[in-house]
């Protein structure tokens, strides 16, 4: 049987729904209609129903969605019903900022290992409790041994492809790339590119357009 291809934008919206449902649960809301969920998320209710339909049947006609139940279903769909170990490559300014970001833990991700070509006191001090710092040459060995499947690249763009090649050889299947360069990876490895410069350029287009 041919596997149904899920649009990438649908996966992005699932993440948004999960955040909205988490907020609703914290507010004590137990049941919510698709119309109200759409209002909270800023998404057309019909689109929410269409997105969820890719994964099965959810909600009760005439009642709506049980918040806690739908939240758990989406976490299961996205593989967030477990904690994920993440490897960080590059402990420069950006890498240190990522190490201090508390949002990863809230969403079920833990940077458990970090790698850098330079191991100095500044980098050692940046490593939080529960994370270990290793020299870059040990990257493939450590990642393979710990069976880590997710990694973040925060190195200079000239080193990014080499790092991606090493991560793929070590068995990493998902890469979040902060280096401003497009990476080539083997089939079976997914890359998300986060280019802050490009994002700002997109913003300037919209700001500039509204000024005329």
93 labeled part of a ligand binding site:
yes
- Exposure of 40 by Cβ count < 10 A (0-12 exposed, 13-18 middle, 19+ buried)? middle
94 labeled part of a ligand binding site:
yes
103 labeled part of a ligand binding site:
no
92 labeled part of a ligand binding site:
yes
200 labeled part of a ligand binding site:
no
Which residues belong to the annotated binding site for NAD(+)? 90-95
Which residues belong to the annotated binding site? 90-95
């Amino acid at each position: 049987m041919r596997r149904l291809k899920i649009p990438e934008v649908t996966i992005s919206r699932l993440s948004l729904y999960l955040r909205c449902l988490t907020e609703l649960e914290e507010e004590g809301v137990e049941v919510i209609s698709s119309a109200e969920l759409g209002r909270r998320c800023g998404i057309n209710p019909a689109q929410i129903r269409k997105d969820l339909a890719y994964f099965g049947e959810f909600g009760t006609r005439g009642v709506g969605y049980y918040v806690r139940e739908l939240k758990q279903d989406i976490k299961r769909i996205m593989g967030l019903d477990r904690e994920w170990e993440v490897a960080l490559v590059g402990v420069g300014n950006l890498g240190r900022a990522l190490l201090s970001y508390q949002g990863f833990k809230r969403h079920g991700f833990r940077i458990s290992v970090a790698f850098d070509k330079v191991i100095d006191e500044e980098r050692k001090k940046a490593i939080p409790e529960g994370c270990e710092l290793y020299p870059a040459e040990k990257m493939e060995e450590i990642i393979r041994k710990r069976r880590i499947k997710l990694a973040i690249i925060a190195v200079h763009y000239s080193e990014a492809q080499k790092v991606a090649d090493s991560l793929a050889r070590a068995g990493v299947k998902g890469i979040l790339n902060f280096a401003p360069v497009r990476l080539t990876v083997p089939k079976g490895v997914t890359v998300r590119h986060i280019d802050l410069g490009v994002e700002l350029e997109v913003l300037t287009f919209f700001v500039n357009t509204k000024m005329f």
